Amino acid sequence: MTRNRLPVVLATALALLAFAGNSLLTRAALAGGGIAPDSFAAIRLGAGAAMLLAIGIGRGLAVRPRAADLPGIIALFAYAAAFTRAYVSLGAATGALILFTSVQMTIVAGGLVGGAFLSMRQGAGILIALSGLAWLLAPGVTATPTLGAAALMTAAGVAWGVYTLIGRGSGAAIARTARNFIGTIPLALVLVAMAGLDGTPTAIMLAVASGAITSALGYVIWYSVLPSLSAVTAASLQLLVPVITALGSLIWLREPLTITLAGASLLILAGVAMTLRRS
């Protein structure tokens, strides 16, 4: 490894850890009932907006939300709200796996709608990934996620996939992300007005960390290294996020790694990896 590649490798590792950290922090806060999901989502979005506002001002970026940002703002808010509610009952590893699969399938579907060609390998990969997801969610399987929670996490993945498609190809990614987070504040305030704002000090700190560190700083780091990565490499690296989350949940949250979760994970990750190849 050359010295000029080392910063890229380290930054990429930090970004992937941050993405996995979002699942771990959210599940840790919600598992013990220390905070309501809407309160967590509102604090996360507020903390992320504050951090990105400070970064944007420091860099002289345009961070005031615009009318053109509205689709991204809505998609980001929908992701955050559904993501948090899903983690009330989903384990961190299971949630990350469902989220990741939904994101990738949404991006693939968006490409097809846009006229992209689906090779036989990619088609087979989609079927394999979906079979793994079906195994994970099959009724009667030990520790099967509830369909409601799985549906919420799938919706979160679709929303994040749409958010990704909306922002694809546009420049000034950090400024756009800052505007989107800031633009969600009125929607977050509606959540607070409807459900109130409460939580234990620990859960609130986890929500702040999720917004300011693993979300805001994680995205800034990721966007800083993306120009150094090919599209396929960037997508492939994200295959590591559910794996990192599973390890983190095993060590930190003491969640069991079942045979079903391990087997379904292998099928899903193998299938998604196949969709990233052309031939």
Residue 127's pLDDT is 85
Are 243 and 15 in contact, with CB atoms under 8 Å apart?
no
User: Which one has a higher pLDDT value, 209 or 272?
Assistant: 209
Are 146 and 21 in contact, with CB atoms under 8 Å apart?
no
For residues 135 and 197, give the distance between their C-alpha atoms in angstroms, rounded to a whole number: 37
For residues 184 and 43, give the distance between their C-alpha atoms in angstroms, rounded to a whole number: 11
Q: Model-level pTM? A: 0.85
Residues 138-196 pLDDT 10s = 765 555 668 899 999 999 999 998 988 887 766 688 899 999 999 999 999 998 888 78
For residues 56 and 121, give the distance between their C-alpha atoms in angstroms, rounded to a whole number: 42
Count the neighbouring beta carbons within 10 Å of the beta carbon of residue 32.
11
DSSP state, 114?
A: T
- Alpha carbon distance, N-terminus to C-terminus of the chain: 28
For residues 15 and 57, give the distance between their C-alpha atoms in angstroms, rounded to a whole number: 22
